[in-house]
Amino acid sequence: LSVPQINRLLTHSLYCKQISKPWLEPQTQKPSRKNQLRMPSQSLFNKTVALLFSKRSTRTRLASETSISLLGGRALFLGKDDIQLGVNESLKDSARVIGGMTEGIFARVGDHAEIEELAKHSPVPVLNALSSLWHPTQTLADLLTLHEHAHLFSLPDPNVEPVQDYKNMETSIKSRKREKMLTSLPELRPLTVAYIGDSANVLHDMLVTYPRLGHTMRVASPAKYRAPPEVWKRVEELGCDKGIWWGEDPKEAVKGADVVFTDTWISMGQEAEKAQRLKDFEGYPGGANPNWKFMHCLPRKQDEVDDEVFYGPRSLVFPEADNRKWTTMATFDLFIGRWNSGEPLDLK
């Protein structure tokens, strides 16, 4: 996604959240005529979205099923044990058949090549619900959460050396203002975002997104878990490398951090590596600036973060999880509901 597309999706997510709220709260009286008119877009009315999930999910599944219903459509959950795919039928044929009977596919796959194959052969839009390399809808929810909590991030401490020269960033906060892309979103100052842990799908999307929005990434991960070459290629193509510090020392990574992120050290499909991974990541949690906030895509395991932080006042993890719904709703509305309607968002 381009920066304008990201900003449009975030603004639209906030709009989806605000407009859906009156419809989700218990009604003690009949909604006024004005409120009856303010209902969520029904762009999925009479449409079906296939949720093609080969891995488990709580948030992504709930976000998609509930938001499709708010948009007036039907979600069709197709787990790996439900259909012929992978046992009696190829991805190519499945893409043609599922895409022939639905208006969009939201797919959670193992290897990233699987989603590329689906997109290549599907006649309808295919969106990524998580792959080995990327988790784009998570990044949208994280960004919406940061914008909504912009007031919590005080101005940078003058005694802390800036970790990045923002003037040289490709997309500065000024140019974002010029583009008038964040009109209804609370403005977020450029943040220093630390990520401590495994270089997996969630981090990869942060690497290709945050620097383009003017934020600096500081990552600590053991050298052997450094992001794979295809991710670095994309990071460089987008000019994001200038906004990324990468090392192995978590204490170094959290220097000047406004937000500290982590993700599981053992992603789905890596269960056999558990013992080695726990050993390699030992000692990874660390501390940061006085005002730092904590974020995690969930599900969380005890190894990555103590309860004290996870359930403490610094933690934004539950608003972050809730925002999966509104960002997914905005994504479905714009990319599936309005696809082929004369106002599509370019998917490339």
Catalytic residue numbers, as ranges: 297
Q: Which does 267 bind (CB under 5 to 8 A by kind): ligand NVA, ligand CP, none?
A: ligand NVA
Selected range binding ligand NVA among 109-117, 148-156, 238-246, 260-268, rule: CB under 6 A: 260-268
Among 11, 41, 43, 60, which residue interacts with ligand CP (rule: CB under 6 A)? 60
Cβ nearer to ligand NVA, comparing 170 with 280: 280
Contact 292, 257 (CB under 8 A): yes
Q: Is 166 helix (H, G, I), strand (E, B) or coil?
A: helix
What value does the CA radius of gyration of the chain take, rounded to a whole number of Å?
A: 20
102 part of the interface to ligand CP, by CB under 6 A: no
Cβ nearer to ligand CP, comparing 60 with 262: 60
C-alpha 286/C-alpha 251 separation (Å) is: 6
Cβ nearer to ligand NVA, comparing 67 with 264: 264
Cβ nearer to ligand CP, comparing 7 with 57: 57
Selected range binding ligand NVA among 18-26, 150-158, 181-189, 199-207, rule: CB under 6 A: 199-207
68 part of the interface to ligand NVA, by CB under 6 A: no
200 part of the interface to ligand NVA, by CB under 6 A: yes
Q: How far is the CB of 182 from ligand NVA (least distance, A)?
A: 27
Q: Where are the alpha helices (DSSP H) in 71-183?
A: 91-101, 112-121, 136-148, 173-178
Residues of span 71-110 touching ligand NVA by CB under 6 A: none
Beta bridge partners of 218: 194, 245
Encoded tokens for 146: 């940061």
Residues of span 110-169 touching ligand NVA by CB under 6 A: 130
321 part of the interface to ligand NVA, by CB under 6 A: no
List Cα–Cα distances, 125 to 8, 79, 137, 348, in angstroms: 18, 19, 15, 11
Encoded tokens for 69: 């219903």
297 part of the interface to ligand NVA, by CB under 6 A: yes
263 part of the interface to ligand NVA, by CB under 6 A: yes
Cβ nearer to ligand CP, comparing 58 with 90: 58
Contact 298, 323 (CB under 8 A): no
267 part of the interface to ligand CP, by CB under 6 A: no
List Cα–Cα distances, 267 to 120, 122, 167, 210, in angstroms: 26, 27, 36, 22
Among 41, 199, 262, 264, which residue interacts with ligand NVA (rule: CB under 6 A)? 264
Among 268, 314, 322, 345, which residue interacts with ligand NVA (rule: CB under 6 A)? 268
221 part of the interface to ligand NVA, by CB under 6 A: no
Among 20, 57, 128, 201, which residue interacts with ligand CP (rule: CB under 6 A)? 57
- The Cβ of residue 38 has, within 10 Å, a number of other Cβ atoms equal to 14
Residues in the chain: 348
Q: How far is the CB of 139 from ligand CP (least distance, A)?
A: 11
Q: How big is the site for ligand NVA, counted in residues (CB under 6 A)?
A: 9
C-alpha 227/C-alpha 221 separation (Å) is: 9
Cβ nearer to ligand NVA, comparing 232 with 265: 265
Q: Return the HEC string of 8-58.
A: HHHHHHHHHHHHHHHHHCCCCCCCCHHHHHCCCCCCCCCCEEEEEECCCCC
Cβ nearer to ligand NVA, comparing 185 with 297: 297
Where b means 16+ CB within 10 Å and e means fewer, 76-88 reads bebebeebebeee
Q: Which residue from 20, 87, 34, 8 is spatially nearest to 322, judged by alpha carbons?
A: 20
Binding residues for ligand CP (CB under 6 A): 57-60, 130, 138, 297-299
